[in-house]
A and B are shown apart, each in its own frame.
Chain A
Amino acid sequence: MVTMSLDPVQLMSGQVSELKVASSSNGNSRGLWEEKEEFDREHLGLPAKPKPPKPENAVTIAVSSRVLFRTEREQKVFEQKGVEEYLRYQIEHENEPFAPGPAFPFVKALETVNARLRDLYPQSEELFDIVLVTYNHAHVGIRLINTINHHNLFIERFCMTGGSSPIGYLKAWQTNLYLSADADKVREALAEGIAAATMFMSEKITEVSEYQLRVAFDGDAVLFSDESERIFKAHGLDKFFEHERENEDTLLDHGPLKGFLEVLGKLQKKFYAKGQRLDCPIRTYLVTARSAASSGIRALKTLRAWGLEIDEALFLAGAPKGPMLEKIRPHIFFDDQMFHVEGAAEMGTIAAHVPYGIAQNHNPKQNASVGK
Chain B
Amino acid sequence: MCWFSFSLQKDADHAVVIAVTSRAVFGSGADDDEVYGEGLAFPLLQALQRVNEHLLMNNPAELLLFDIVLLTTDSQQQQQSPRIISSTRHYGLEVGRFCFSSEEDFVENLLKNNVQLFLSTDRNEASQATQRGVLSALLDHQTASCPSEQLKVLFFGDAVIQPDTGPTPPSRQAARSFSAQLGEMQRRFTMSDSPLSIGLVTWRGGRDSCADALHTLRSRGVRVDEAYCLAEAPWGPILSVFRPHFLLSDGFGGLEG
Contacts and interface: CB of A to CB of B under 8 A. Distances in A.
B156 interface: yes
Interface string A227-240: 00000000000000
Contact of A1 (B197, B207, B236, B257): B257
Nearest to B255: A7
Interface stretch (B86-94, B99-107, B223-231): B223-231
B226 A138 contact: yes
Contacts of A251: none
Contacts of A49: 206
Interface string A125-169: 000000000000111011001101100000111111110100011
Contacts of A160: 226-228
B178 interface: no
Nearest to A56: B234
B231 to A, nearest CB: 4
B239 interface: yes
Nearest to B123: A9
A205 interface: no
A275 interface: no
B228 A145 contact: no
Nearest to B249: A8
A4 B203 CA distance: 13
A43 B215 CA distance: 26
A172 interface: yes
Contacts of A137: 191, 225-226
Interface in A154-210: 155-162, 164, 168-169, 171-173
Contacts of B232: 51-52, 54
B225 to A, nearest CB: 4
Contacts of B253: 4-6
Given A139-B223, A141-B224, A157 B156 contact: no
Nearest to B217: A138
Interface in B222-257: 223-241, 247, 249, 253-257
Nearest to B218: A142
A14 B257 CA distance: 18
Given A13-B140, A138-B214, A156 B229 contact: yes
A55 B233 contact: yes
A6 B203 contact: yes
Most-contacted residue by chain B among A51, A84, A161 (CB, 10 A): A161
A148 B207 contact: yes
Interface in A74-91: 83-84, 87
Contact of B206 (A13, A156, A173): A156
Given A141-B211, A145-B211, A158 B229 contact: yes
B5 interface: no
Contacts of A14: 236
User: What class of interface size applies to chain A in its complex with B?
Assistant: 35 or more
Contacts of A6: 156, 158-159, 203-204, 253-254
B158 A138 contact: no
A83 B224 contact: no
B237 A169 contact: yes
B79 interface: no
A13 B138 CA distance: 12
Given A139-B223, A159-B228, A7 B191 contact: no
Contact of A55 (B190, B223, B234, B249): B234
Contacts of B190: 84
Nearest to B156: A8
Contact of A7 (B197, B228, B236, B249): B249
Contacts of A12: 140, 142-143, 235-236, 239, 247
A149 B241 CA distance: 28
Nearest to B236: A172
A155 B207 contact: yes
B192 interface: yes
A6 B158 CA distance: 8
A11 interface: yes
A306 interface: no
Contacts of A157: 206, 229-231, 233
B220 to A, nearest CB: 15
A33 interface: yes
A156 B209 CA distance: 10
B254 A84 contact: no
Interface in A264-312: none
B247 to A, nearest CB: 5
A7 B123 CA distance: 11
5 contacts: A6-B159, A52-B231, A141-B224, A157-B229, A172-B236
Given A12-B247, A169-B241, 18 more contacts: A5-B256, A6-B159, A6-B203, A8-B249, A12-B143, A52-B206, A83-B192, A138-B200, A138-B227, A139-B224, A145-B207, A145-B208, A145-B214, A156-B207, A156-B231, A157-B206, A160-B226, A168-B241
Which 9 pairs, one residue from A and one from B, show the smallest C-beta to C-beta distance? A156-B206, A172-B237, A138-B227, A156-B231, A162-B226, A138-B224, A162-B225, A7-B254, A168-B241
